[in-house]
Amino acid sequence: MKVLVAVKRVIDYNVKIRVKPDHSDVDLTNVKMAMNPFCEIAVEEAVRLKEAGTATEVVAVTVGPKAAQEQLRTALALGADRAIHVQTDERVESLGAAKVLAKVVEEEQPDLVILGKQAIDSDNNQTGQMLAALTGRAQGTFASELKVEDSKLTVTREIDGGLQTLSLALPAVVTTDLRLNEPRYAKLPDIMKAKKKPLDTKTPEELGVEIAGKLKLVGVEPPAERQGGVKVGSVDELVDKLKNEAKVIS
């Protein structure tokens, strides 16, 4: 079966972000960028399905600026066979991304699409669900385990009270939770080989997709700072402060 994996270029997860002085957005100039951690897990799972003989081809796709090709090359180095870059400099919201991906799904006809459960920049947690809706497919969100059997997919999901297992009809859409797998590192020879793998570039216009949505970013501000606290010298002092100063225990 064919697997499509969507990846996103985001700020590196270790970076302490800065809000622009005019509060229009977060400042991304000269900031280290990387593949979204949940997307790395999606790529890893697709590559594992290929190694297990379940998947025959893994196609990586991204929607974003020219620089996002770096993340596609990373996916290729990790084991994807080819890549599709839908290039745009517009701000892409989840719905716009899902519409582009739905077109790619229509063209590529993958049996399984794997995405991360959320991007660590917008923290939306929407695109996979929207893609499933737009393509009329079943969804297995927040997956911590996947099993492909015949024309069915068994997905274990991380839900609020614990774990839930569902059986989905293929083709389906899955989004990854952190515990699905431990992504590998790309080795240097694989990074070199990845440079020769096919990477198609398209535009949303070519796909006939209007990505602009009706959600306007009015402004971005830093969160309220917490007051600096105090260090206490002993457990006694801690209990005393909690009882008599903070009054949060009795």
Partner 1 sequence: MSILVLAEHHDGQLAEATAHVVAAGRAIGGDIDVLVAGENVGAVAEAAADLEGVARVRVADHAVYAHQLAEPLGELLVALADDYTHVLAAASTTGKNVMPRLAALKDVSQISEIIAVESADTFKRPIYAGNAIATVQSEDSLKVITVRATAFDAVSSGASADVEAVDTVVDNALSSFVGEELAQSDRPELGAAKVVISGGRGMGNGENFKLLDGIADKLGAAIGASRAAVDAGFVPNDMQVGQTGKIVAPELYIAVGISGAIQHLAGMKDSKVIVAINKDEEAPIFQVADYGLVADLFEALPELEQKL
Stretch 38-77 residues interacting with partner 1 (CB under 8 A): none
Q: Find the shortest distance in angstroms from Cβ 2 to partner 1.
A: 19
Any alpha helices (H) in 7-116, and if so which ranges? 37-51, 69-78, 94-108
Strand duo 57-64 + 33-35: pairing: unpaired
Is 137 one of the binding residues for partner 1 (CB under 8 A)? yes
- Residue from 167, 187, 192, 206 touching partner 1 (CB under 8 A): that is 167
What type of residue sits at position 184? Answer: R
Stretch 88-117 residues interacting with partner 1 (CB under 8 A): 93-95, 98, 117
Is 242 one of the binding residues for partner 1 (CB under 8 A)? yes
Q: Find the shortest distance in angstroms from Cβ 1 to partner 1.
A: 17
Q: Which of 20, 5, 2 is nearest to 183 (CA)?
A: 5
Q: Find out whether 12 and 87 touch, Cβ atoms under 8 Å.
A: no
Q: Which of 60, 62, 133 is nearest to 92 (CA)?
A: 62
Which stretch, 81-89, 106-114, 171-179, 186-194, contacts partner 1 (CB under 8 A)?
Answer: 171-179
Is 32 one of the binding residues for partner 1 (CB under 8 A)? no
Is 181 one of the binding residues for partner 1 (CB under 8 A)? no
- Residue from 151, 164, 201, 203 touching partner 1 (CB under 8 A): that is 164
Stretch 186-225 residues interacting with partner 1 (CB under 8 A): 213-223
Indicate the helix (H) or strand (E) that contains 149.
strand 138-149
Is 16 one of the binding residues for partner 1 (CB under 8 A)? yes
Q: Report d(CA 18, CA 31) in Å as an integer.
A: 10
Q: Find the shortest distance in angstroms from Cβ 244 to partner 1.
A: 12
Q: Report d(CA 112, CA 152) in Å as an integer.
A: 11
**For residues 81 and 93, which CB has a smaller minimum distance to partner 1 in the complex?**
93
Q: Report d(CA 214, CA 93) in Å as an integer.
A: 10
Is 149 one of the binding residues for partner 1 (CB under 8 A)? no
Q: Find the shortest distance in angstroms from Cβ 76 to partner 1.
A: 26
Q: Report d(CA 152, CA 136) in Å as an integer.
A: 16
Q: Find the shortest distance in angstroms from Cβ 69 to partner 1.
A: 23
**For residues 21 and 53, which CB has a smaller minimum distance to partner 1 in the complex?**
21
Q: Find out whether 37 and 116 touch, Cβ atoms under 8 Å.
A: yes
